[in-house]
A and B are shown apart, each in its own frame.
Chain A
Amino acid sequence: MHDVSAKDASLRPDPLLCAIGITKRYGTFLANDGIDLDLFPAEIHALLGENGAGKSTLVKVMYGLIQPSAGELRWTGQKIVLTGPSEARAFGIGMVFQHFSLFENLTVAENVALGLAPTESFTAISERLEETARVYGLPLEPKREVWRLSVGERQRIEIVRVLMQNPKLLILDEPTAVLTPQEADQLFSVLARLKSEGRGILYISHKLDEVKRLCDTATILRGGKKISTCDPRRETAASLARMMVGADIGEVKAASGRTVSVPRLVIHKLSLEPDDPHGTHLREVSLEVRGGEIVGIAGVSGNGQDELFAALSGERLSPAEGAIVIDGLAAGMLGVNERRRMGAAFVPEERLGHGTAPRMKLSENALLTGHAASGMVRHGFVDKPATLATVDRATAAFDVRKAKRDPEAASLSGGNLQKFIVGREILREPGVLVVSQPTWGVDAGAAATIRQALIDLAGRGAAVLVVSQDLDELAEIADRIAVMFHGKLSSPLDAAEATRETLGLLMGGASTGRSADQPEVSHAVGA
């Protein structure tokens, strides 16, 4: 591949960065296997692949965070060895990570200053910050504390911080995962501008329509190997997906003849103070989920979804008994196990540490939610065979791939662990299922399995509530969609009328009269 692009040198400018035969070995596992990649100036290059395909490993090598086991990097033709990110930055490589590294209690300017050389005065940095933010149309108030900002605004800090170092090559790791559609559009126009300035951009994503819209070149990784480098505008979403997954993904089928029955989960004017200072106050949240239907809750993370989940599961009790009603019984002041005994089941967003104990075996993790309502405990003693049977049943029903019968939860891949967690709950045939981010960071095959299971469960008469940031997912499975913003829940829209635009506006707070806090919303509307 590298040779091919070298021949094209007369047509294209020289590549900024060449990765040649990059291999990274962890024990016997090859995270990257001889990957070649050329990144050119004034080009947006997509790096596509499922979770675990080796995308993160590759960019960490290119940013000097890890050393490759074999292969080399060339910067404008010269061989380089990066022993750390500071060296990468010195060459002109900048990176925006998926997970922000910001101090919540410091201001925007203070956070930016922390990442820069101490030679520049704080006022100079603040001025340069404002200037950069203005030039690129990334509005930021230098004096605001980070914890007051939305996720989109926080990402702007990260981007501005990198731009202030004037990089020639910018690496972005799944930048739109946390953004509303409008915020994403804004990001795309910034990227287009960076491209027109002659900078190279490496854009990691698994959202195919985004890549088709934005990128000039796409490299697809699968299982640590490079599958192909292509022009995404000439591919279809299906052909790109096929290259990522290696097979056609089964389509999710709606259960036929689903009939909607009585409300099985009712939230009635639920208000709840956050238990930590950076949490979100839930304000009069009301919603009905009827048997046989799937209701989705969309919203940018941090708008009260976590608080709502804790209130629904009973990890936090509500101030009033009737704030939460499960199958006609007031459950607001009952604990999580009492709610499970009423036929409710819960799947939290965080797989490791919340949904499971990472260092415990799967059988023990089956016990984790099954001990109260699934006959796994007799006279205080754990019925080990019963817990193992649950593991086996979940394994068989949901195709959970694992190295041995009963491994530690942390040893499973994200997708397989999520299948186990969802399977563990669905096997109990709950009447009410509340699930948060069911397919977050899960590969496409597992995601399809999980979504199908949710649809089938609703088809059997259960009420299913799905909290998700993934609008495509909600469009695929939900019958009605409500949007959470600043602790308030909009009234649900029928899936048919819930277009990306409508949802996006609600996610930005459009109907709650708070648009003053979110100036970008009015831009988006105008655009």
Chain B
Amino acid sequence: MQLVLEKRAERSNFIAVASPLFAIALTLVTMAVLFAILGKNPITALDVYFIEPLTDSYSLEELVVKATPLVMIAVGLSLCYIANVWNIGAEGQFIVGAVAGSWLAVRTNGTDAGHWVLPAMLLLGALGGALYALIPAICRVRFGASEILTSLMLVYVANFGMDYLVRGPWRDPNGLNFPTTAEFDPVATVPLLIEGTRLHAGSILALIVVMLATVLLGRTIMGFEIRLVGAAPKAARFSGFNADKLVLFTFAVSGALAGLAGIIEVAGPVGHLQPDISPGYGFTAIIVAFLGRLNPVGILIAGLFLALTFIGGENAEIAIKVPLDLTKVFQGILLFYVLACDSMIIYRVRLVRAFRKPAHAVA
């Protein structure tokens, strides 16, 4: 007996919709097995992970707060992935965006600068992220360097760069030697949506990004170009589109969105620049993009789901004493299943009898 993948005559639309759900179900089963191996009751563990966070209002707010950067980054990444361009370095672009915007907050700290500061910071954040993302894009276009490697490597460069700034020149003099900048002024802080919560205006921006991306992909010639270059590169050249220009464009847009998410995170929920501003948003957003089927609305839903894994992970660490790293294991398994289930859209699995004669098998 042998398992073979057979190409389907047409895409299965049913699987296209159901594939993320299959992936989630398979992930939950695998997680249950993992919990059992760790000696925890799987039912209780899954309840702590996925149900409890949905039952109190603080966790629900936190869900939105954590989903905001995920969605914003993932929408940008989806543009790259649709065009067959592989930006893996959103985490680095997120950090550079946060640093670029924070520069203005640090410079104006304690002065009586007006309300122009925050918009200027957001702009700088987006610009910083975009420029940083253009480094791997240009290397790919000019020298043919694999953007997967270069964009990933630049994450570490960004991380150490930020580390240097907050431990060195930008460190708060009154900060008891903690590696952090001074708390940002109110004019350099993202306003809250509801006083007394952590819900901030950045979430509205994320929704706007989702809507703009939907229009871009579905209605405009630019969106058509992105989809065509990814789906049929030779046809795209025949259509007169320049694949190199698109590499630059998609990298710049996804970098800008990651940078914007970075400065919003720092000027919003965190309130100052410090190491560890991200629990890996830039990497998790890759999973969000695929779980959301590279569709902006799907990404919105997938972003909320993965935000849940962060919160559930924190809950589980406290409630049932499992390591926080289990969240990353969980996310990795999820991505694995999403990609596996996605191949079922175009292929089907078939069981066939042994292909070779026994004599050949022996030889």
A contacts, CB < 8 Å to B: 26-27, 83-84, 86-87, 90, 313-315, 335-337, 340, 346, 348, 350, 353-360, 364, 367-369, 371-372, 377, 380-382, 384, 408, 410-411
Contacts and interface: CB of A to CB of B under 8 A. Distances in A.
B221 interface: yes
Given A359-B11, A382-B224, A313 B360 contact: no
Nearest to A340: B240
B130 to A, nearest CB: 20
Given A335-B240, A357-B235, A368-B235, A380 B221 contact: yes
B221 to A, nearest CB: 5
Interface string B279-321: 0000000000000000000000000000000000000000000
Given A313-B238, A348-B238, A372-B240, 15 more contacts: A83-B355, A336-B237, A350-B234, A357-B228, A357-B231, A358-B231, A360-B228, A360-B231, A360-B232, A364-B228, A368-B235, A380-B222, A381-B219, A382-B220, A411-B10
Given A84-B355, A84-B356, A359-B231, A382 B238 contact: no
A197 B238 CA distance: 50
A367 B241 CA distance: 12
Interface in B220-267: 220-222, 224, 227-228, 231-232, 234-240
Interface residues of B, number: 25
A368 B220 contact: no
B214 to A, nearest CB: 13
Contacts of B221: 367, 371, 377, 380-382
Nearest to B233: A353
A335 B232 CA distance: 19
Interface of B: 9-11, 219-222, 224, 227-228, 231-232, 234-240, 353-357, 360
11 contacts: A83-B353, A86-B356, A86-B357, A315-B238, A336-B238, A355-B238, A357-B231, A364-B224, A371-B221, A382-B224, A384-B219
Contacts of B355: 83-84
Nearest to A314: B240
B220 A380 contact: yes
A379 B234 CA distance: 26
Residue with the highest number of chain B CB atoms closer than 10 Å, among A354, A356, A369, A377:
A354
Contacts of A384: 219
Given A381-B219, A411-B10, A368 B239 contact: yes
For B9, B231, B234, B239, which residue has the most chain A Cβ atoms within 10 angstroms? Answer: B239
A357 B9 contact: no
A367 B353 contact: no
A380 B228 CA distance: 16
B81 to A, nearest CB: 16
A340 B240 CA distance: 10
A362 B53 CA distance: 46
Given A86-B356, A87-B357, A354 B234 contact: yes
B238 A368 contact: yes
B220 A357 contact: no
A377 B220 CA distance: 8
Nearest to B223: A382
A315 B231 CA distance: 18
B234 A353 contact: yes
A353 B236 CA distance: 9
Contacts of B9: 26-27
A117 to B, nearest CB: 9
Nearest to B235: A357
Contacts of A382: 219-221, 224
A-B pairs with lowest CB-CB distance, top 4: A337-B240, A357-B232, A336-B240, A357-B235
A212 B9 CA distance: 36
A252 B235 CA distance: 31
Nearest to B357: A87
A360 B227 contact: yes
A353 B231 CA distance: 9
B239 A369 contact: yes
A358 B238 contact: no
B156 to A, nearest CB: 36
B224 A371 contact: yes
A232 B231 CA distance: 45
A335 B241 CA distance: 10
A354 B219 CA distance: 23
A90 B363 CA distance: 15
Contacts of A367: 221, 224
A354 to B, nearest CB: 5
Contact of A353 (B220, B227, B232): B232
B319 to A, nearest CB: 46
Given A84-B356, A380-B221, A346 B238 contact: yes
A26 B227 CA distance: 30
A358, A359, A408: most-surrounded residue (chain B CB, <10 A): A359
A503 B10 CA distance: 42
Contacts of B354: 83
Contacts of A346: 238
